[in-house]
Amino acid sequence: MNVLGEQHRDLARTFATHGVDRFAGGELGFWPDSDLPCLLDAKAAFRCVSSGTLAVGDHDLLVGSMVATRLNVGGTPLLWYQRDFALPAREAGVVREPV
């Protein structure tokens, strides 16, 4: 699993598109000692071992255990909100009130 940065907008759109070669862009690398792909410049990457799936509405939720992580400091994470990419709340000046 990869946490995308704002520079990955086009890559996110590619992976959301049906009928295209999602791995043709060459931005992916591999976890050490593995053939599992990871995005080398992702904000974070989590290597997981799958333990099952759950049907949630019209999606399947993958469940697993994390066995390794990669972190890249700096930059802005890419967020999807209300059918578009958005800035994180702290950068957009949004302050949450305590509940």
Does the residue 97 lie in any domain?
A: no
Does the residue 45 lie in any domain?
A: yes
Does the residue 92 lie in any domain?
A: no
Does the residue 11 lie in any domain?
A: yes
Which domain does 74 fall in, by range? 2-85
Does the residue 76 lie in any domain?
A: yes
- Distance from chain centroid for Cα 72: 13
User: Is 90 exceeded by the pLDDT of residue 61?
Assistant: yes
Of 62-66, 79-83, 91-95, the least confident: 91-95
Whole-angstrom distance, CA of residue 79 vs CA of residue 85: 5
Can you give the pTM of this predicted structure? 0.71
Whole-angstrom distance, CA of residue 16 vs CA of residue 3: 15
CATH number (domain holding residue 47): 2.30.110.10
Does the residue 58 lie in any domain?
A: yes
Number of domains into which the chain is organized = 1
The answer to whether residues 50 and 59 touch, using CB atoms and an 8 Å cutoff, is no
Does the residue 6 lie in any domain?
A: yes
Dihedral sign computed on CA atoms, order 12, 16, 19, 23 = positive
Centre a 10 Å sphere on the Cβ of residue 16 and count the other Cβ atoms it contains. 10
